[in-house]
Chain A
Amino acid sequence: MSRQLFAYITHKNSAADDSAFELAAAAKKIDANASVTAIVTGKGEDLTKVCGQITSAFAKVWKIDGDAFAYPNAELIRAMLVKILPEKSITLLAHDTFGMDLGPGLSVKLNASFISDVVDIEGVKSDILKTIRQEYSGQVSTHVSCDITDGAVINIRPGSFKPEETSIGGEIEDKSSEAEGITAKRKYIEIIEAEIGDVDITKSEILVSVGRGIEDEENIEIAQELADAMGADVSCSRPIVDAKWLEKSRQVGTSGQTVKPKVYLALGISGSFQHLGGIKGSPFIVAVNKNAKAPIFQVADIGIVDDLLDFVPVLTEKIEELKG
């Protein structure tokens, strides 16, 4: 297969995102012999540093430097990619909030196929790429095939592909001039940092985390009582914040906080990748869920299949007894 493979690399604070090396690993699963080109946009010193960092994983690095790319605006970057990508190429993106913004539209403009949120790649056979995806927050998986005759844009789930130690020593090529004069009808204005709440869950050693299985705002109390007995803080999944039952600063996950506790109790949380993406440092995870097949049990150390509304008060009482 002589198809050209590309990976668009995101970066922050002069460092390539972890996904850069995961995309390189994913590309290997499409074509073990491919020489993969990374595309990096940005400005000045920052960009130069990032390009240098990733030459270990890519055969070529296309560097695009310009004022317009100081902040990654997916609409601008799409126009640029459409201009510089060869026909029928395969482009890998991380399935994060940037990749979600860019991927689907890019595939339309390139007239290429699109597969979203891929967790594994089985390989290519006569222009058909076979991948694995998940549906319903990971409750079921599917094999998905994709006709790549006219190329493809593939969004790769962060954390799904294991980066390999490589020292390819790729060449950096400055493509900035090709990106001049590109405009978009959407303009980046500014970043508004997340609000700081009453409790900083990123510093908590023990978290009692509640999900939609808590069912009712009043029941948050049950989790708070357990947390008090354990000396823990209460955190939660996204739907609890959406319902305004707890503050945004208590949300664990990719669009919330990244926590590093020693012990994490997940009460009525299904275990979506966006939630699990916010739990780092391999804590001891205990899951209470009434659905024995909930994906959270795949990552938990200890599971309790029960209604949390029944079980948690029993646990709290036992801990209080113990403490006297």
Chain B
Amino acid sequence: MEILVCVKRAPDTLENEITVNKDGTNIELEDLVYSVNEWDNYAVEEAIQIKDKVGGSVTVVTIGDEEAEEVLRREMAMGADKGILISDEAFENSDGKGIASILKAEIEKGKYDLILTGAQADDGAGQIGGMLAAMLDLPYASLVNKIDIAGEKLTVGREIEGGVQEINEIELPCVLSIQTGINEPRYVGIRGIRKVASVEIPVHTAADLGLDASAVGTSGAKVKKLDYFIPETGEGAEILTGSQEEIAEKLIELLKAKGGIK
């Protein structure tokens, strides 16, 4: 099975507190630690497990700047066979449709049986997989937490509300968005990364993909982020202050009053 996994380099929310920059045009980018979007890592692991079972290959692709190459290497260290970096200034500020149409152009240059994305990335849109499938006219299932191969079809589980699993049959080729928890992504050590450090990663531009630069990026975007801000919140929590002992004592009084200690 020829599998393509779309991955995105995203700020690691465990390592960073995300704040707004001075003029509200973006998040504060200084000192941000990046990694591969959490959901995408599960998607790559799933692709590798499928390849190990039925053969084929796993390609990872990302749209980003030069630095996005590091996430491709990381996923190749996990076991992906090939990486493709799609990079062009013309792609900056693309909206969801823009990103999906760039990925579509790349996908049409190859021949893939299965295309995986993460269920969502850092801006929480959860849109690329569904858009891509519709653009390619392929069937789609989102929030997939189980994949079984049954000939020309897959049996997939979707995680819906309440931890309930919805089982579907879907024809190949198809696009699936992967939910966390579907597997346990393998650990990647420094040695693994070193092994793939010198593997050549092709860079594809708008021209390589035959894309009209005005249809993507800022000029093609119908959906635009205008500014970033911290919402004015209601009352918010009462923050307890003092030494840890003092705070603990205050909290115990409050908990007792609310029936929080039996």
On A, residues with C-beta under 8 Å from B are 73-75, 78, 96-98, 100-109, 113-117, 130, 132-137, 139-147, 184-195, 205-206, 212, 229-232, 238-239, 241-242, 244, 248-249, 251, 254-258, 262-263, 265, 270, 284-287, 291-293, 297-306, 310-311, 314-315, 318-319, 322
Contact = CB atoms under 8 A, between A and B. Distances in A.
Nearest to B249: A318
A101 B163 contact: no
Contact of B164 (A75, A100, A192, A238): A192
B237 A300 contact: yes
B262 A206 contact: yes
Contacts of B8: none
B168 A188 contact: yes
Interface stretch (B61-69, B70-78, B223-231): B223-231
B205 to A, nearest CB: 24
Nearest to B17: A291
A244 B236 CA distance: 32
B122 A311 contact: no
B207 interface: no
**Chief secondary structure at chain B's binding surface:** mixed
Nearest to A103: B130
B254 A185 contact: no
A293 B17 contact: yes
Most B CB within 10 A of own CB, among A97, A139, A232: A97
A136 B238 contact: no
Contacts of A230: 255, 260-262
A241 B181 contact: yes
Contact of A187 (B138, B168, B244): B168
B259 A140 contact: no
B13 A137 contact: yes
Contacts of B258: 262-263, 284
B54 interface: no
Contacts of B43: none
Interface string B104-132: 00000000000000010011111111110
Given A192-B164, A297-B236, 18 more contacts: A104-B129, A107-B131, A137-B124, A140-B18, A140-B229, A141-B229, A142-B227, A142-B228, A147-B222, A186-B139, A186-B174, A192-B165, A255-B160, A286-B251, A297-B237, A302-B254, A311-B247, A315-B251
Contact of B180 (A132, A192, A242): A242
Given A185-B170, A255-B162, A302 B238 contact: yes
A212 B126 CA distance: 21
24 contacts: A75-B139, A97-B160, A103-B130, A108-B130, A117-B126, A135-B18, A135-B27, A137-B13, A140-B230, A142-B225, A143-B226, A147-B222, A188-B167, A190-B166, A206-B261, A254-B162, A255-B162, A257-B163, A284-B258, A287-B237, A303-B237, A304-B247, A305-B239, A319-B261
